[in-house]
Amino acid sequence: MRNSIGTRITLSIFIVVFIILLIFEAVFIIGVRQFYYGRALGILSDKAVSIANFYNMYLRYEDLYSKGTKILDNYEEEDRAELQIVDIEGNVLISSAAFLHTEKVDVKSIRTLKAGEFHSWRGRWDLSGQELLAVSTPLIVGNSDTIVGYLRLVSSIDEITAIVKDLILKSVFLSILILVLSLILAALLSGSIVKPIKHLTYVSRNIADGNFDIAAEKKYNDEIGELADTINFMTNEIKKSNSLKNDFISSISHEIRTPLTSIRGWAETLSQGLISEEETRQGIDIIQKESKRLTKLVEELLDFSRFESGRINMNFEKVDLNLLIKDVLKQYKIKFENKNLEIHYYLDEKITFVYGDSDRLKQVFINIIDNAYKFTNEGGKISVSSEHMPNGVKVTIEDTGIGIPSEEMVHVTEKFYKGSSKFSGNGLGLSISKEIIILHKGKIHIYSKEGKGTKVIVEFPANF
C-alpha cells in the first residue's frame, strides 16, 4: 500500500496535537486535584490545629475527657466536619456525630506528632462508603507537654470528588473534541498541499508523454508555487529546444542537400565527357570545395554528438599558444586578402605555453576567426591579440563587422541557435567552442554592438 504524503502529514499533526493534549490533560488533572483536595486539606488542618492549640493553652490541666467535652460544647461546625476526641490507644471518646464509634482509629502514624503538628488521612469509610478526609493533631496535659490524645476533624469529600471528576470528564471531552477538529483540519491542510502536488504530477506525466502545451497551475506563492513556475519554465525551454532542434535539422538537411546536389550534378556532367578542359577543372574545384564543406559539417555534427554524450576525448599537452594563433591566421591569409580585410595582431612574448589540447584549441580559434571573417564587410578590420595576465592568458579577437543584435546576444553560444544574419552557420560552432573552452577550465566573453562590430575574449587559467 502506498504511503501517501497526505496521510503522513495528517498523522504527524494528529500525533503532535495528541501529545500536547495528553500533557495538558495530565497537568490539568494534577492541578485540579491539588487545588480542590489541597484547599480542603488546608481548611481542615488550619481549623484542627487552631482549636487544639487554643484548648492546649487554656485547658492545659484538664484531663482528656473534660477537655474534649468543652471542645465539643464550643464546636459550631458539625455540618462541615465531624469532631472526634481520640485517646492514645485510638479509641474515639467523644464525637460530634449522632452515633457511637466502636471501631478504633489507627494511631501508629500520628504518635510521633508534636504539639502544633498535624497528620492527614484520606480514604473510604467502610460503613457508609463515603470518601473521607481526616486531620489529626495532638492534645496535651500539664507542663510536660504530655500527649494524652488527639483532636480529629473528619469531613466527607464526596462532593469535592464529584466536582473533580466532572471537571476531568469535561476536559477529556473537550480534548477529544479538539483532537477530532485537529484531525479534520489536518486532513484539510494536507489536502491543500497534496492536491497541488497531484496536479504537478499530472502535468509532469503529460510532459513526459510529449505534451508540452500543458501548463502547471500556480495557486500559492510558496515552494509548490515555485515548483510550478520551474515546471512551466522547463516546459518552455523544452519547447524552445525542440523548435531550435527542428530548425537545426531543417537547416542541416538543406546544408547537406546543397553541396550534394552540386557534387552529384558535376559528377554526372564530368562522367559524360562532353565539356571542355577548363569546365572540367572548374567542376573538380567545385566538387572539392563542396566535399570540404560536407566534411566540416560532418565533423561538427560528430563533435556535437560527442559533447552531448560526454564521450569527447581531450589530449592535454604543452601548446605554444602564439604559434597556434599564427597558424590559424596563415590559413586565412588568402581569404583576408581576397576580401581586402585589414589584419592587426599583437602576440605577447611572455606567453610561451599553455596546457591544453592543440587540435581543440585550434578548432576554437578557427571558429572565432572564421566568424570574424564572415561577418566583416569588405575593407573592414580584424584585430587579434594575446596577453599574459597574473591569473592566466587572455586572447582577444575583435572585428569591425555587422555586429550582433542585442536580443540575440544571450543565445549566440546556445546549441542549434542560428542568428538572423544571412551569414549565420548551422548553430553549432560557438556552442562547441564554448564546451571546449570549459573543458580547458577557461571562459569565453562576447561583446557586440550591431553595426559596429564584435569582440570575443577567451581566457585560460595560469595553472591549468
Say what the pLDDT of residue 457 is. 93
> In the listed set 290, 309, 328, which residue is the last one of a domain according to the structure?
309
Query: Could you tell me if 89 and 16 lie in one domain?
Result: yes
Residue 145 lies in a domain: yes
Give the pLDDT score at 434.
87
Spell out the residues 6+ positions from residue 387 whose beta carbon is closer than 8 angstroms to its own. 348, 351, 393, 394, 395, 396
pLDDT digits (tens, 9 = 90+) for 149-162: 899 999 988 889 89
> Residue 28 pLDDT more than 60?
yes
pLDDT of 167 higher than 90 = yes
pLDDT tens-digit series, residues 49-82: 998 888 888 887 888 888 888 888 888 776 678 8
For 314, phi then psi, to 5°, come to: -120, 130
Residue 15 burial (CB count, 10 A) = 11
SS3 452: coil
Residue 419 pLDDT > 70: no
pLDDT of residue 19: 93
In the predicted structure, residue 334 carries a pLDDT above the cut 90: no
- Shared-domain flag, residues 248 and 331: no
Between residues 321 and 76, the one the model is more confident about: 321
- The band of 265, judged by pLDDT with boundaries at 50, 70 and 90, is confident
The residue type at 174? L
C-alpha cell belonging to residue 202? 499530472
According to the model, what pLDDT value does residue 243 have? Answer: 75
Check if the beta carbon of residue 264 is closer than 8 Å to that of residue 294: no
Torsion angle defined by CA atoms of residues 383, 327, 352 and 369, in that order, rounded to the nearest 10 degrees: 30
Give pLDDT tens digits for 369-386.
988 998 888 889 999 999
Q: Are residues 344 and 412 in the same domain?
A: yes
Let me know whether 231 and 340 are in one domain.
no
Q: What integer is the mean pLDDT of 103-128? A: 83
Question: What is the C-alpha separation between 266 and 272, in angstroms, rounded?
Answer: 10
Highest mean pLDDT among 123-132, 295-304, 388-397 belongs to 388-397
Is 50 exceeded by the pLDDT of residue 17? yes
Which pairing describes strands 381-389 and 342-347: parallel, antiparallel, or unpaired?
parallel
Q: What is the pLDDT of residue 78?
A: 65
Cell of 106: 489507627
In a domain, 202, yes or no: no
Residue 335 lies in a domain: yes
The pTM assigned to this predicted structure is: 0.51
Tell me: the pLDDT tens digits for 274-317?
Answer: 778 788 888 788 888 778 777 777 776 777 666 666 667 778 88
Residue 464 has pLDDT above 60, yes or no: no
Flag whether pLDDT at 1 surpasses 50: no
Q: Average pLDDT of the chain?
A: 83
Question: Does the pLDDT value for residue 106 go beyond 80?
Answer: yes
Pick 14 or 78 by higher pLDDT. 14
pLDDT exceeds 50 at position 100:
yes
Is the CB of residue 379 less than 8 Å from the CB of residue 445? Answer: no
- In this prediction, residue 31 carries a pLDDT of 93
Whether the per-residue pLDDT at 10 is higher than 60: the answer is: yes
Which one has a higher pLDDT value, 254 or 328? 328
Within a domain: 415: yes
Find the CATH number of the domain harbouring 296.
1.10.287.130
DSSP code of 443?
E
pLDDT in tens, 255-264: 677 677 777 8
Are 229 and 329 part of one and the same domain?
no
Radius of gyration (C-alpha) of the chain in whole angstroms: 51
| The pLDDT value given to residue 128 | 66
In a domain, 174, yes or no: no
Q: Which residues pair with 122 in a beta bridge?
A: 133
Question: Is residue 30 within a helix (H) or strand (E), and if so which, with residue range?
Answer: helix 5-58
Q: Specify whether 275 is located in the same domain as 373.
A: no
State which of 286, 309, 332 marks the end of a domain: 309
| Helical pair 277-309 and 223-272, crossing angle rounded to 10 deg | 160
The span from the CA of 94 to the CA of 91, in Å, is 9
pLDDT at 323 over 70: yes
Q: What is the pLDDT of residue 168?
A: 92
Q: Quick one: 23 and 48 in the same domain?
A: yes
If one compares 419 and 138, the residue with the highest pLDDT of the two is 138
d(CA 182, CA 316): 66
Three-state DSSP class for 376?
coil
CA distance 206 to 203: 5
In the prediction, which pLDDT does 151 show? Answer: 92
Cell 562590430 belongs to 453
Whether 81 is in a domain gets the answer yes
Phi, psi values for residue 157, rounded to 5°: -115, 20
Contact criterion met (CB below 8 Å) for 380 and 398: no
| 441 and 297 assigned to the same domain | no
**Tens digit of pLDDT for each residue in 433-462?**
888 888 889 999 999 888 889 999 999 987
Average pLDDT (208-215) is 84
Q: Which of 35, 120, 127, 30 is nearest to 81 (CA)?
A: 120
Predicted confidence at residue 382, as pLDDT, reads 92
pLDDT at 250 over 70: no
304 and 329 share one domain: no
Instruction: Please enumerate in sequence order all residues whose Cβ is within 8 A of that of 408, keeping only pairs 6 or more positions apart, or say none.
Output: 419, 420
Cα 37 from Cα 156, distance rounded (Å): 11
Secondary-structure percent of the chain, ordered helix, strand, coil, rounded to 5 = 55, 20, 30
The answer to whether residues 274 and 333 belong to one domain is no
Q: Is 145 found in the same domain as 37? A: yes
pLDDT on residue 255: 62
Contact between residue 51 and residue 151 where contact means Cβ atoms under 8 Å apart: yes
The grid coordinates listed for 148 are: 494524652
Can you give the pLDDT at residue 396? 93
Amino acid letter for position 387: E
C-alpha cell at 374: 564572415
Do residues 267 and 346 share a domain? no
d(CA 223, CA 445): 34
Q: What is the DSSP letter of 117?
A: -
Alpha-carbon torsion 353, 354, 355, 356, what sign? negative
Among 283, 309, 335, identify where a domain stops. 309
Cα–Cα separations (whole angstroms), residue 181 to 13, 184, 194 = 11, 5, 20
pLDDT value for 423: 52
The predicted structure's pLDDT at residue 258:
66
Residue 93's domain comprises 5-163
Once rounded to an integer, what is the mean pLDDT over residues 318-328? 90
If one counts the domains in the chain, the total is 3
The CATH code of the domain that includes 148 is 3.30.450.20
Domain containing residue 438: CATH number: 3.30.565.10
CB 205 within 8 A of CB 36: no
Q: What is the pLDDT of residues 227-247, one digit of tens each?
A: 888 888 888 888 877 776 776
In a domain, 214, yes or no: no
In this structure, what DSSP letter does residue 137 have?
E
Give domain status of residue 180, yes or no: no
Cell of 278: 577548363
What value does the mean pLDDT take over residues 389-410? 87
- Which of 205-219, 304-318, 329-343 is modeled with the greatest confidence? 329-343
